[in-house]
Amino acid sequence: MTSGVAPTPEAAAEPLERLGRLLDRAVRLLGDAGEADAACRLAAEAWWLLRESAPAAARRVNATLHYLTVHPGPDQTKGDDVSTTDTTLDVRAKPPARRHELIFDTFHALEPGAAFVLVNDHDPKPLWYQFEAEHAGAYTWEYLEQGPEVWRVRIGRP
C-alpha cells in the first residue's frame, strides 16, 4: 500500500543516480578491458539520457568519457583549411563544466550547411562521442589541428 504522497524530486532522481553510478563503473571496466570505443559510445548515450533527469550521474559519466578517450578511438581525419565564414568558438578559458553546453548551443544555432571551428586545450574526442549519441549522421566533424596544446575541429550541420 502506498502513502499517496508523491516522492520529492530528489527521491525520484535517486534510482537514476544509482543506476548512473552502476553504468559508470561498467563503462569504465569495458574501456579498461580494451573496448574503449564501445565504452565511449555507451558513456555518451548515458550522458545524453541522464543530463536532465540525473545531472550528477551525467557529470560522472562525462568524466568517465573523458578518462576513456585516452585510449585509441574513432578514425578521425585531419583537414588543413578553414572557411573564412566559419565562426570560431574558443572554449579554453571557459570552465570545463560549461564547455559542452556552449558547444551544443553553438551547434544547435547553426543553419544547414554552416559550421564553426571549436578551439580546445585537449582532444575533444568525448564531445565526438556525445555528438554520435545525440546527432548521429546529422553533423560533420573535421580535425584541423590535433595538439599537443591546441585542438581545432570544424563542426558543422550538413
Contact indicator for 157, 112 with CB cutoff of 8 Å? yes
pLDDT tens profile 30-64: 887 888 888 888 888 888 888 888 888 888 888 78
Residue 92 main-chain phi, psi, to 5 deg: -60, -35
Q: Over pLDDT 70: what percentage of the chain?
A: 82
Alpha carbon distance 107, 14 (integer Å): 31
Q: Return the axis-axis angle of helices 96-108 and 125-135, rounded to nearest 10°.
A: 40
Residue 76 burial (CB count, 10 A): 13
Q: Which helix (H) or strand (E) holds 9?
A: helix 9-32
Confidence class for position 117, pLDDT limits 50, 70, 90: very high
Per CATH, domain 87-156 is 3.10.20.880? no
pLDDT tens profile 81-102: 444 457 899 999 998 888 988 9
Of 133, 129, 83, 70, whose CA–CA distance to 110 is shortest? 83
Predicted confidence (pLDDT) at residue 21 exceeds the cutoff of 60: yes
Confidence class for position 145, pLDDT limits 50, 70, 90: very high
* 31: exposed, middle or buried (Cβ count in 10 Å: 0-12, 13-18, 19+): buried
Contact indicator for 140, 98 with CB cutoff of 8 Å? no
Cα angle 80-67-151, degrees, rounded to a multiple of 5: 15
Residue 91 burial (CB count, 10 A): 19
Of 123, 99, 114, whose CA–CA distance to 155 is shortest? 114
Predicted confidence (pLDDT) at residue 77 exceeds the cutoff of 50: no
